């Protein structure tokens, strides 16, 4: 059990069945239209990219401190306060009165904005290129929690290696935004 960050395919994004997000998709498109933007209608279908799934488990204390030190309060909110991430540029998040997995509303953020913030944090801590690209389920989770990150930290010290829990969250947001943009799919917590 726990909280997972996962990719969302077309069937789930546009579906009405249990777990379907059609109401969120419709509310997002209404807000995009109000802002004069094109609707988001292209989540990947079956046979698309591999599934993105990462478990949220390490403590976030260090990540919170990193964000407060290097981001404005507004930027930190944009990076960490969303419940749905979409591959659409949104200068401001969209909040819709539809319950999400853990709150009474759904906050939708744009992957380009989250990516830019995560890239800044990755540069601050010197996140190494060896961090997995989230091409397989739980790839980041296993890399950070099962010893590979610790092993690399012994040969590649630096700010990233001083707090692997913080590095995990930087990598998580970075890879989630990259995945969303690369595959054109929403991301959400479940």
Return the SS3 of 16: coil
Q: What is the pLDDT of residues 130-182, one digit of tens each?
A: 999 866 789 999 999 999 999 999 999 999 999 999 999 999 999 999 999 99
Write down the pTM of the prediction: 0.94
According to DSSP, residue 100 is labeled -
103-143 per-position pLDDT tens digit:
899 999 999 999 999 999 999 999 999 999 866 789 999 99
**Distance between CA 95 and CA 82 in Å, rounded?**
9
Q: Quick one: average pLDDT of 88-104?
A: 90
Q: Are 44 and 130 in contact (CB under 8 A)?
A: no
Alpha-carbon gap, residue 61 to 63, rounded angstroms: 6
CA 159, distance to chain mean position in Å, is 22
Q: Which is it for the CA torsion 100, 111, 35, 82, positive or negative?
A: positive
């Amino acid at each position: 059990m726990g909280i997972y960050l996962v990719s969302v395919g077309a069937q789930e994004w546009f579906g009405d069945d249990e777990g379907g997000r059609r109401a969120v998709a419709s509310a997002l498109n209404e807000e995009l239209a109000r802002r004069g933007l094109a609707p988001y209608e292209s989540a990947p279908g079956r046979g698309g990219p591999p599934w993105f799934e990462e478990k949220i488990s390490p403590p976030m204390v260090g990540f919170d401190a990193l964000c407060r030190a290097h981001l404005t309060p507004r930027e930190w909110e944009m990076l960490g306060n969303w419940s749905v991430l979409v591959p659409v540029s949104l200068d401001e998040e969209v909040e819709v009165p539809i319950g999400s997995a853990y709150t009474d509303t759904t906050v939708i953020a744009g992957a380009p904005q989250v990516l830019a913030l995560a890239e800044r944090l990755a540069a601050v801590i010197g996140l190494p290129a060896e961090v997995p690209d989230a091409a397989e389920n739980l790839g980041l989770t296993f890399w950070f929690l099962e010893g590979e990150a610790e092993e690399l930290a012994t040969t590649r010290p630096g700010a990233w290696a001083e707090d692997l829990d913080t590095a995990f969250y930087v990598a998580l947001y970075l890879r989630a935004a990259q995945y969303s943009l690369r595959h054109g799919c929403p991301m959400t917590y479940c």
